[in-house]
Amino acid sequence: MALGAGWLAFPRVLYRSRPEPVNFSHKIHADKAGAKCEDCHSFRDDGTFAGMPAIDKCAVCHAAPMGTTAAEKNFIDDYVTPNREPQWAAYARQPENVSFSHAAHVKPAKMACETCHGNTGTSDNLRPYQIDRISGYSRDIWKTPGTPHGMKMADCVSCHRQKGLEHSCLDCHK
Amino acid sequence: MKTNRREILMFAGGSAVGVLFTPAPWRLITDTALWSENWPGIPAPARGEIRARFTNCSLCTAGCAVRARCVGDQPVQLSGVSGHPLSHGALCPFGIVGHHLPYMPARVKEGPVKEAAAAVADGIAKCGPTEYVAMLDPRPARTASWTYRRAMAALKNGRYVAPSIDTSIAVDLSKVRTVLSFGVPVLDGWGTPGNVNVARAGFRLIQVEPVESRTASMADRWLRVRPGSEDALAQALAGQISHAAAADAAGLTVPEIAALAQELEQNGPVLVLGSSRLASTAGAVVARRETPAPEEWKKAAPAADLASLPDRSVRVLLIDESAPGGYLPWNAIEKKLVADNPVVVVFACSREGYARHANYVLPVGVYPEVADDIPPAIDSVVATFRIAAPLVSPPAGMVKPEAFVAAAAGLAIGDTLRERADAIHKAGRGTLFTYADAKSQALKDVSADNFWKALNAGGCWIDEPDSKPSAARLTTVASETRPAEESELPLAVVLTHELTPGSPLLSKVYRESNLRLAPGRVALNPSCGLDEDALAVFETLLGKCRVGVTLDAAIPPGVVQVSGSPALMDLCAAGARAKVVRV
Amino acid sequence: MTSANKQIRAARYGMTIDVDRCNGCGACMVACSVENNVPPAHEGATDRKGLTWIRVYKVDNGEEYPDRRTAFVPVMCQHCGNETPCVHVCPQQAVDIDPATGVVGEMPQRCLGCRYCMAACPYHARYFNWWDPAWPAGMEKTLNPGVTPRMRGVVEKCNLCHGRWHAAKEAAAAAGKPDTEPVDYIPACAEACPTGAIHFGDLNDPASPVAMEAARAESFRLLEKLNTQPKIYYRSKKDWVREIAAAPQPGARKEKVHA
C-alpha cells in the first residue's frame, strides 16, 4: 500500500497543474514565420539573456489578426491591445540563488537550445505547468519527451564535470 | 477481521519500509530544502534589462555627476561619472545612497494642501502695514530661488530670506598653497569632494578645532584649541589682539601662534575657511561670473538676512525644506513671527526638520524624483548649471513648492528650468559636457533644444573663464567664528554635521560601526559617568531633548560633540554650552 | 574542486589599500551594502551585531596630543590563500576557495549558522544574520538582481563582488572572448572610494597596477605572522600603522586600538 501511495498517489497530490496563459505554438511560428529560437529569445547588447519576449515583440506581427483562429483573436484582445504582459511560467526557472548565463552556454560552449530545453521549439502547443506545491518549481523542464525531468543542480554538475569546468560553488551561485 | 495491536504495528512497519522504496520521502526532503530557500518575507530583487541613466546629485552644492545603474527604469546603484571635469568621478557616502531617499521612513507622504493655500491667502490679506510675508530658502541660488524672489517681489510686503551665500566669488584650490580651516570639514564634506582630492597634493592644510575630525586626522597639521576659542585665534592672526591673549584663550603656546602667523605670511596664497575675521590672500578667492538668467527675472527681490527683519513682524512664513541642507535654528526664526496666529507652511521632505514647528506640513518630491538645479559649488572657479534630472516618478499628491509659492503671490510662471537653460544658451558661452559619452562641446555648436535634452539626460554646462577677470569683491568665505557662550553649564558644545535626512542604509556607518556619529546622538569622554548607548537628556539654555550617548576617548573631558539633527540644532549653535544627564 | 579541470589562466584577485588616503568617510561601506543587498540595521543591531561586509576601523598611535596620530583602515574578508581558516572549519562545506580566482566564496544557502567560521576568522570579517532582513516599504525596489538576499541564521561576508564578476564573465562570453582568461571588473568598494584608496586587480598579472603595488616594500598585510597569505595588501608610510597591522602582544607598546 505504501508503495502504491508513494508511486501513484504522491505525484498526483504533490503537483498542481495550471495551463500557460496563451496556448502558443512554436511549430507554427517556426514553419510559417521562419523564426528561429534567437529571433524571439534574444541576447541584449551587454550579453544578458532577454528570456521570454515582451508583448511588443508579438505586437510587431500580431497588431492585427494574421490568421482566423479564435485563440489568436483572444490573444490580441487580452494582451496586445491593452499592452499587457502574459504571465508566462518558465519551466526551467531556477532558484533565486542561481546565476545562470545563457551567453556562456550558447556562445563559447556552443550548446544547442535543445540540449536543455528539448523539443520545445518544434512543439505545437505549450504543455501545462506542473508546479511542485512544496518547492514551487516545475516538475519538468521538458528536456526529454516522456520522462519528467526537473532541473536539478546534479544535471548542471554532471555536464560541468565532464567538461572540466568545476572550480567553485560561486561559479554558478550568487 | 479483528485487528490487534501487533497487526497495526506490522502494517505500520511494513509501510514505513515500503515507502522508503518510493520517491515520496526523498522528494519531501529535497522539496522542503528548496522551500526553505525561498524564505517568506525575503524579497526577490526585480529582474530586467540593465540600463545606465545619468543625473546630478542635488543633496549639496557639489552637485556631483551621477551614473545610475537601473533595472528597467528603477535605479539600483549610483556611482560617479569618471572623467567629469568638476566631480572627477567621486561620490560621497550620502550621494551613493541618494536613490533611497524616496523610501526613508521619516518621509512626509501627505498634507493639507488646500487648507494651507487658503491659510496663506488669508494671512496675506490680513497683513498689517508693518507685517511681512517671508519665504525662507535654505538652499539659495537655485532657479527655484529666483522664482521665490520674484514671488516675494510681486507681493507688496514679501521678503525673501536665505543664508547669505555669495555666488560672485569662488575658491581656486589649484592656486591655494595653504588652507587654514577653523573647523570646516575640508576633506570630508566641503566643496566638491572630487575636486578637493585632485587639488590636495598642492596645498598644506592646517585644521583648527577642539576635537579631531576626519579632516583633522588627514590634515598636515591639527591645532587643538579650546572650544569657542577659534575666534580669539583668528583675531590674533588678524592682528586684532595679542598672541598672548589668544594663546591663553585657546590653550596654545605663543611660539605656536607666532609660527602659524609666519607660515601664513610665507606660504601664500592662503585660503581661510570658517572665520570672517581673517581674509584669504589674493589668488585664493576669485571673482566668478553668475550663471545667466532671463533678464525679466532680474527685477527679483534681493535676499534679506533673517536678522534684518524686525522681531514679531512676519505673519506668513513659507519654508522650502525639500532637500537636505542647511538648517537655521528655530528660535532665530520663531522670534520673527507675529505673536497672534502666524501661518507657517513647510514644504518638507522629512518630518524631523521644520515640520515639527509648522502649522501646515506639505509633502514634496525628493531627489531623485523631481528636477531641481544645483548652484555652482564654492570651489568651482567658473559658473555652472546642472539639473538633477528625475530618475523615478514622485508619488501622487506631492506639492511643487515653486508652483505653490508663485500661485500664492499671484505670479505666473512657466517651466523655469527651461527658461533658465534658454537664457544660458542665449548667452552663448561655455561648454556642454555630456555624461553618456564623456564629451565636451562648445555651447555655440548645440541647438537650444538639444542643450535642454542633454541637460536632462545627464550633462552640465560649464562657463568659460572670464577673459577680463575682476578682483573678488570680498575675500572672506562665508561663516563666522563665534565667541563662547557664558554660562554655568559644564560642557562645551562642538557640532558635527552629517547630511540629514539620509538613507536607512547609512546605519552601516552610524550604528553598525562607530565610524560616524549619527544625527541626534552626542559623544562624550568615558569619564562622563554615562554608559555607552545610554539614553540621556541634553540640555542647553534653549531647552532640552533626549539623545543617545556614544563614548569616545578622543573627546576631551568637558566637551560634548553633538551630531546636528534639526532637533539638536534648535538647541545649540557653535560656542554653546550644555549638560548631559542620565534619563 | 576536481583535478581534471580545463586549463585556464588562474587569477588571484586582490586589493591594495592606501591607508594614508583613507579619510574614514564610509563610502565603501555604504556602496558595498547597496551592491550586495545588505539590509539596513535592525532595531537591536550594534557595531558587534551589525552586517558590514567591509568595515572601516579608526586606529591611533596611542600617544596624546600633539603626538597623536589617527588613521582609518578598511577591513573586509582578506581572502586568505594559505590554509584558509573558515574553509577548514566549516562542517557544511559552505565556504570554498576558488582555484580560478582566489576568491573565498561563502554559500549562505548551504550555511547552517553554527558560526564556527566566525570564531576561526582572525580578521573578524564574517557576519551573522541575527535577524531576517527588512527594508523600509518600497526600498526593496532598489535591490540588486545580481546578488541573492539572505535569510536569518546564516553567515555572510565579502566575496569581492562576485555578482559583478558574473556580469563581467557573461559580457566576455557574449563578446566572444576565450573563457580561459580571467575577467576585468571592479568591486563596489573600489569603485566608490572617493579618494581612490582602494585598488583592485589580479595579483597574478605582473603588469597589473595592483600586483606591482603589492610587491613594493611598503606594502604589508594584516597579521602576517599567522601566515594566512591574505590577498588584501595595505600601504602606509606610517610605521605605527604597520605595527598595528602586525598586532604585537598587548603591553608590548602603549596602543589603543578602537576596533
DSSP assignments along B134-192, one per residue = EEE-SS-SSHHHHHHHHHHHHSTTEEEE-----TTEEE-TTT-SEEEEES--TTTTSS-
**CB-based contact (8 Å) between A13 and chain B?**
no
Q: Secondary structure of C46-59 in the HEC alphabet?
A: CCCCCCCCCEEEEE
- Specify burial of residue B104 (Cβ count, 10 A radius: 0-12, 13-18, 19+): buried
**B15: nearest CA in chain A?**
A2
Alpha helices in B182-242, H assignment, sequence order: 193-199, 214-218, 230-237
A14 phi/psi in degrees, rounded to 5? -70, -35
What's the confidence (pLDDT) of residue B181?
Answer: 96
Helix (H) or strand (E) holding A20: none
Q: What CATH code is carried by the domain that includes residue C110? A: 3.30.70.20
Domain count for chain B, please give it: 3
Can you read off the three cell numbers belonging to residue B450?
538639444
B320 inside domain = no
Which of the two residues, B18 and B140, has the higher pLDDT score?
Answer: B140
Residue contact B511–C27, C-beta within 8 A: no
Residues in chain B closer than 8 A to A45 (CB atoms) = none
Average pLDDT (B405-428) is: 96
Average pLDDT (B448-453) is: 97
Average pLDDT (C98-111) is: 93
Domain count for chain A, please give it: 1
Residue contact C33–B508, C-beta within 8 A: yes
What's the confidence (pLDDT) of residue C258?
Answer: 44
C153-185 tens-digit pLDDT: 999 999 999 999 999 999 999 988 888 889 999
Range of the domain at C141: 13-258
Side-chain half-sphere exposure of B38, counting CA atoms within 13 A: 15
Residues shown for chain A: 174
B233-290 tens-digit pLDDT: 999 999 999 999 999 999 999 999 999 999 999 998 999 999 888 889 888 999 999 9
Nearest to C107 among A43, A163, A169 (CB): A169
B547 inside domain = yes
Instruction: Give the percent of chain C with pLDDT over 90.
Output: 82
pLDDT exceeds cutoff 60 at C1: no
CA distance B74 to B64: 20
C2 inside domain = no
Residue contact C26–B71, C-beta within 8 A: no
Q: Which of C84, C98, C72, C70 is nearest to C17 (CA)?
A: C72
Average pLDDT (C196-201) is: 96
Q: Which of B318, B354, B280 is nearest to B566 (CA)?
A: B354
Q: What CATH code is carried by the domain that includes residue B205? A: 3.40.228.10
What's the confidence (pLDDT) of residue B475?
Answer: 65
Range of the domain at B251: 173-283
The answer to whether the CB of B262 falls within 8 A of the CB of B144 is: no
pLDDT exceeds cutoff 80 at B73: yes
B23 inside domain = yes
Dihedral of alpha carbons A55, A58, A64, A68, sign = negative
Tell me the sheet residues that pair with C57: C73
What's the confidence (pLDDT) of residue A166?
Answer: 83
Instruction: Give the percent of chain B with pLDDT over 70.
Output: 97
What's the confidence (pLDDT) of residue A159?
Answer: 87
Residue contact A47–C146, C-beta within 8 A: no
Least confident of A51-60, B132-141, B558-567, C88-97: A51-60
**Last residue in a domain, options B228, B255, B283:** B283
Tell me the sheet residues that pair with C220: C234
B500 inside domain = yes
CA distance B71 to B35: 27
Nearest to C5 among A99, A165, A169 (CB): A165
* Chain A nearest CA to B394, separation (Å): 23
C7 inside domain = no
B203 inside domain = yes
**Last residue in a domain, options B251, B283, B315:** B283
Measure Cα distances from B174 to B96, B124, B198, B285, C22 in Å: 26, 49, 9, 11, 22
Can you read off the three cell numbers belonging to residue A72?
489568436
B373 inside domain = no
Least confident of A15-19, B289-293, B574-578, C220-224: B574-578
Can you read off the three cell numbers belonging to residue C247?
598586532
What's the confidence (pLDDT) of residue A42?
Answer: 86
Average pLDDT (B469-495) is: 73
What's the confidence (pLDDT) of residue B479?
Answer: 59
* Cis peptide upstream of residue A21 (ω within 30 degrees of 0): no
B260 inside domain = yes
DSSP 8-state symbol, B571: T
A9 inside domain = no
What's the confidence (pLDDT) of residue B546?
Answer: 95
A38 inside domain = yes
A75 inside domain = no
**Last residue in a domain, options B257, B283, B309:** B283
Is pTM beyond 0.90? Reply is yes
B420 phi/psi in degrees, rounded to 5? -65, -45
**CB-based contact (8 Å) between C151 and chain A?**
no
B48-67 tens-digit pLDDT: 899 999 999 999 999 999 99
Q: Choose from A85, A88, A96 for mutation: most chain B CBs within 10 A.
A: A96
Average pLDDT (B31-46) is: 87
CA distance B172 to B174: 5
B142-183 tens-digit pLDDT: 999 999 999 999 999 999 999 888 888 999 999 999 999 999
Average pLDDT (B37-45) is: 88
pLDDT exceeds cutoff 80 at C54: yes
Residues shown for chain B: 583
In chain A, residues 52-91 whose CB comes closer than 8 Å to chain B = none
User: What's at A57, amino acid-wise?
Assistant: K
What's the confidence (pLDDT) of residue B1?
Answer: 58
Average pLDDT (A62-77) is: 84
Interface of B with A (CB under 8 A): 14-19, 21-24, 27-28, 30-32, 34-35, 37-38, 44, 49-50
Average pLDDT, chain B: 92
A96 phi/psi in degrees, rounded to 5? -55, -30
Range of the domain at A40: 15-52+88-171
Q: Which of C58, C59, C60 is nearest to C24 (CA)?
A: C58
**A44: nearest CA in chain B?**
B49
Which of the two residues, B213 and A163, has the higher pLDDT score?
Answer: B213
Instruction: Give the percent of chain B with pLDDT over 90.
Output: 78
C3 inside domain = no
Average pLDDT (C55-71) is: 91
What's the confidence (pLDDT) of residue C255?
Answer: 46
Average pLDDT (C94-105) is: 95
A42 inside domain = yes
What's the confidence (pLDDT) of residue C154?
Answer: 95
A10 inside domain = no
B24 inside domain = yes
Q: State the residue for C-alpha cell 547597496.
A: C34
Helix (H) or strand (E) holding B559: strand B559-563
**CB-based contact (8 Å) between C115 and chain A?**
no
pLDDT band at B473 (very low <50, low <70, confident <90, very high): low
